[in-house]
A and B are shown apart, each in its own frame.
Chain A
Amino acid sequence: MIEMRRVCRDYDVGGRPVHALRDVTLSIDDGDYISIMGPSGSGKSTLLNVIGCLDRPSQGSYILNGHDVGTLDERALSRIRGHQIGFVFQSFHLVPRLTAAGNVELPMLLAGIERTVRMARVARALEAVGLAGRAHHKPEQLSGGERQRVALARAIVMGPAVLLADEPTGNLDTRSGSEIVALLESLNADGITLIVVTHDPNVGRRARTRVQMVDGAIVTADAARLAS
């Protein structure tokens, strides 16, 4: 359950304040499927980063699964990121020196999970994204679609409640892109909350709830339902 009340995020850029988020109020139920769309600089990514606890609201309250994020310290936030949130990025963000398995293992390594357990869960996650045979390949040996699937396996390996995807198909051809979307949607069907930021209307319109942003504010689409 995600609940935001009048969340603002202001940056200071060269002495001038920039309002990346203005009075964003929304609530997202567990298992929901939401797309966030809007022009560049409209605050989509900032909203996603705040939801993912990578960034904090300047004002307003954000409650994630009953925790008031504004009151948590850095350690607690990193714990939430590790255990309750999965991230998928446009540029994949794989560590080049690690194999596919090594990359998927990372969140569990940071969480202090025992090695034998890690190995088993890495294998399961790679199988879930259809890359069981690619476990020992380095990112440079994988295609773009395969890289994003490794990133997806990494995002779900801790069993998070929320999956955040920032332009997940932005660097992929159409076919790999739709494969990734299909994978994301099957995970959503299994109960994970899926929030996708995208430029691509073909991707955005597939979501159950669609959010349109302009200048840091939510302007249209199911706003009434979200603000309920």
Chain B
Amino acid sequence: MTAFDILAFAGRALIGHRLRTGLSLLGVAVGVASVVLLTSLGEGARLYVVGEFAALGSNLLIVTPGKTETSGLAPPVGSAPHDLTLDDVTAIERRVPRIRHVAPMAIGSVTARAGDLTRDVVVAGVTPEWKSVRRLNIGIGQFLPTGEAGADASVCVVGAAIQRELFLGANPLGEMLRLGDERFRIIGVIAPRGTSLGMDLDQIVIVPLARHMKMFNLTSLFRVLVEVSSQDDLPAAQRAVIEILKARHDDEEDVTVQTQESMLTTFSSLLSMLTMALAGIAAISLSVAGVGIMNVMLVSVSERTREIGLLKALGASSGQILRLFLAEAATLSAAGGGAGLGAAIGLTALARRLYPSFPVQPPPWAIPLAVLVSLAVGVLFGVAPARRASKLDPVAALNRR
């Protein structure tokens, strides 16, 4: 028998039992679709994070107080880190070569009030350079003023969500915003941006750094972004920052200096692991579908016992019977796999249309893998029923009632 004849025969046998074929096909389809969809979610998360980091530019060093490895090890117990202070920032600014910008940032949380409306907000204290380092766009108004006077001014820039919730969408420029006990005049609104570097820029209130540290009575910065002229300067700058801060902190290396690239790699590999884990979970549903195929094929073999006896009487060898039933199982699972793949691709396309900012898409390896695995599932779970069919005694099979 040619491969085509085998497939045609198997296909006709499957079409003969529409409901049964349809249901087990659905099982495989759901299994394959869940593999593709879940890995698409994981891959979407990875691409989203990668995109976020890429938007920052690649010439960035991120300095945070406390010593942590990029691999995520906690600092050894008992080594209380020194504060990361404004003086440290000044030292970096003066002594690290080829620096373009240094953007220190402090963080606090407080209740904001405008008129009768209140809500808790995260308040970030930054310098005017922060805007260009973070590639920030201002929707209306302006960013923090430059110069000596600006550093201590009671002015603030708010996120889009703050404008929506505390001013009900009205233009807030020139209005007063009460942060705790102090009043700030709103001079700008950030264009909607969403979460970036772990901070939701739509929900944030930005005030001048010096004003911020006084208000919250802070001595340590939250983190410092250092932008150098080109990517080639990063290693030297990284070494210099660590050296300078080590010298200033009693010869103790108690800051973490990461390049944007190393963080990117860390996140990317972390999220790839997540994708794999999701694929593993989805694979379970695929194996359940495999058991479904096995069940359907066993039913088919016992229902068609007389047919198998007949085929043997007409000259079919055991090997041919085995191939016929394997082809049936493989056709079943491949058709299910194809349907599942189609559904998954359609759904991810729909998701991309609905949520353009979150790039849900199957990783390149998921599609060929899904097809291969669904075929393999069919063959694997088809073997036992097909062997049973091929081993039937022709005389007994022919006379089965």
Which residues of A pack against B, CB within 8 Å? Answer: 49, 52, 54-55, 74-75, 78-79, 81-83, 87, 89, 93, 95, 97-98, 106-107, 109-112, 115, 154, 158
Q: Given A97-B12, A109-B1, A109-B9, does the pair A75, B319 have CB atoms closer than 8 Å?
A: yes
CB neighbors of A among B291-345 (8 A) = 306-307, 309-320
Kindly report which residue of chain B lies nearest to residue A160, judged by CB atoms: B315
- A115-B2 Cα distance, complex, nearest whole Å: 10
Which residues does B use to contact A, with CB under 8 Å? 1-2, 5, 9, 12-13, 15-16, 306-307, 309-320, 394-395, 398
Number of A-B contacts (CB under 8 A): 65
B317 and A74 form a contact (CB under 8 A): yes
Q: Which one of B306, B312, B317 contacts A54 once the chains associate, using CB atoms below 8 Å?
A: B312
Q: Is B317's CB under 8 angstroms from A75's CB?
A: yes
Q: How far is the CA of A93 from the CA of B309 in the complex (A)?
A: 9
> Known pairs A89-B398, A115-B5. 14 more at Cβ < 8 A?
A52-B313, A54-B312, A54-B394, A74-B318, A75-B319, A78-B312, A79-B317, A81-B315, A93-B310, A93-B313, A93-B398, A97-B16, A112-B2, A112-B5
Contacts of A83 in B (CB 8 A): 315
A78: B residues at CB distance < 8 A:
312, 315-318, 320
4 cross-chain pairs, A with B, having the tightest CB-CB distances, nearest first: A82-B315, A97-B16, A78-B317, A107-B314
A-B residue pairs in contact (CB < 8 Å), sample of 30: A52-B313, A54-B312, A54-B395, A54-B398, A55-B395, A74-B317, A75-B317, A75-B318, A78-B312, A78-B320, A79-B317, A81-B312, A81-B313, A83-B315, A87-B314, A93-B306, A93-B309, A93-B310, A93-B398, A97-B12, A98-B12, A107-B315, A109-B5, A109-B9, A110-B1, A110-B320, A112-B1, A112-B2, A115-B5, A154-B314
A89 to B394, CA, bound (A): 13
Which of B9, B306, B313 has most A Cβ within 10 Å? B313
Bound form: Cα–Cα A198–B337 in Å: 51
* Chain B interface mostly: helix
Chain B nearest CB from A45 CB (Å) reads 8
Q: Which residue of A lies closest to B15 (CB)?
A: A97
Bound-state Cα–Cα, A203 to B310, Å? 25
In whole angstroms, what is the CA distance A95 to B313 when docked?
A: 13
* Complex CA distance for A54 and B310, rounded to whole angstroms: 10
User: Could you tell me the distance in whole angstroms from the C-beta of A131 to the nearest C-beta in chain B?
Assistant: 18
User: B139 CB to closest chain A CB, in angstroms?
Assistant: 68
Q: Which residues of A contact B16 (CB under 8 A)?
A: 97
Indicate if the CB atoms of A54 and B313 lie closer than 8 Å: yes
Contact (Cβ within 8 A) B394 A95: no
Contact of B314 among A81, A98, A115 (CB under 8 A): A81
* Complex: A106 Cα to B308 Cα, angstroms: 12
List chain A residues, Cβ under 8 A from B316. 78, 82, 110
**B5 CB, nearest partner CB in chain A, Å:** 5
Does B395 lie within 8 Å of A110, measured CB to CB?
A: no
Instruction: Write out the residue numbers on chain B whose beta carbons fall within 8 Å of the beta carbon of A112.
Output: 1-2, 5
**What's the minimum C-beta distance from B392 to chain A, rounded to whole angstroms?**
12
User: How many Å lie between the Cα of A51 and that of B398 in the bound state?
Assistant: 16
The answer to whether B307 touches A110 (Cβ under 8 A) is no
Assembly CA distance A74 to B394 (angstroms): 11
Which residues of chain B have C-beta atoms less than 8 A from A55's C-beta? 394-395
Which A residues touch B315, using CB under 8 A? 78-79, 81-83, 107, 110-111, 158
Residues of A within 8 A of B307 (CB): 95
Q: Which of A52, A81, A97, A107 is B13 in contact with, Cβ under 8 Å?
A: A97
- Are B313 and A87 within 8 A (Cβ)? yes
The residue on A at minimum CB distance from B5 is A109
How far in angstroms is the closest Cβ of chain A from B237? 74
CA distance A55 to B313 in the complex (A): 10
Determine if A106 and B314 form an interchain contact, defined as CB atoms under 8 angstroms apart: yes
| CB neighbours of B310 from chain A (8 A) | 93, 95
Contact of B395 among A49, A109, A111 (CB under 8 A): A49
- Min CB distance, B140 to chain A, in Å? 72
Give chain B nearest CB distance to A103 CB in angstroms.
Answer: 9
Q: Is the CB of B13 within 8 A of A106?
A: no
A20 to chain B, nearest CB (A): 10
CB distance from B320 to the nearest CB of A (A): 6
Complex interface: chain B residues within 8 A of A107 (CB) = 314-315
Shortest Cβ distance from residue B295 to the other chain A in the assembled complex, whole angstroms: 21
| A75 and B15 alpha carbons, distance in the complex (Å) | 30
